[in-house]
Amino acid sequence: MAQVGIVMGSDSDMPIMAKAAEILDELGISYEMTIISAHREPDVFFEYATTAEEKGFKVIIAGAGMAAHLPGMCAAIFPMPVIGIPMHTTSLGGRDSLYSIVQMPSGIPVATVAINGGANAGLLAAKILATSDSELLGKLKAYSQSLKEQVQAKDAKLQEIGYKAYLNK
């Protein structure tokens, strides 16, 4: 049974949504990924959002561009956390998506990550789930430690060879 629902409004969102899925895969979190247009197939969307809880979802990650109603409408129906990913758009650079997702009315919160922030959405979903899963919390701590070690390795290389050589590597 999937713990996280990943839903996007268009297949053009897939490269960003895949980053969330990759994080969930790395941490061993089950998910279901779906393409649903809240505007073009509202009946399908409504069925998805109303059955998400009984499917076992604990968190929904919803990505959308432009008017970006998908995350907010998920939050209006699904009683547990929804994480919105605003997609970059060619017309307004994703600001339209960001504003549509983050500016929710009182009582209908959507946790919103950066424009095209797929990886952070996956991590936030994991952190939400880790509040009641000590094994997952351990995996997240190890993930954070690996990030620290990556930065330290880069600095060690910089100190060893200097910035000019580092730039040309």
Helix or strand holding residue 21 (H, E):
helix 14-27
CA-based angle 53:54:55, to the nearest 5?
90
Paired tokens of 42: 């509202």
Q: What is the pLDDT of residues 59-71, one digit of tens each?
A: 999 999 998 999 9
Distance CA 74, CA 78 (A): 6
Is the pTM higher than 0.75? The answer reads: yes
CB atoms within 10 A of CB 17: 25
Paired tokens of 143: 């993930």
- Give the 3-state secondary structure of 73-108: HHHHHCCCCEEEEECCCCCCCCHHHHHHHHCCCCCC
Please give the pLDDT value at position 119. 98
Please give the pLDDT value at position 169. 79
Q: What percent of the chain has pLDDT over 90?
A: 98
Q: What is the mean pLDDT of residues 14-25?
A: 98
Instruction: Write the single-letter amino acid at 73.
Output: M
Residues whose CB is less than 8 angstroms from the CB of residue 135 and which lie 6 or more positions away in sequence, other chains included: none
Q: What is the pLDDT of residues 44-98, one digit of tens each?
A: 999 999 999 999 999 999 999 998 999 999 999 999 999 999 999 998 999 999 9
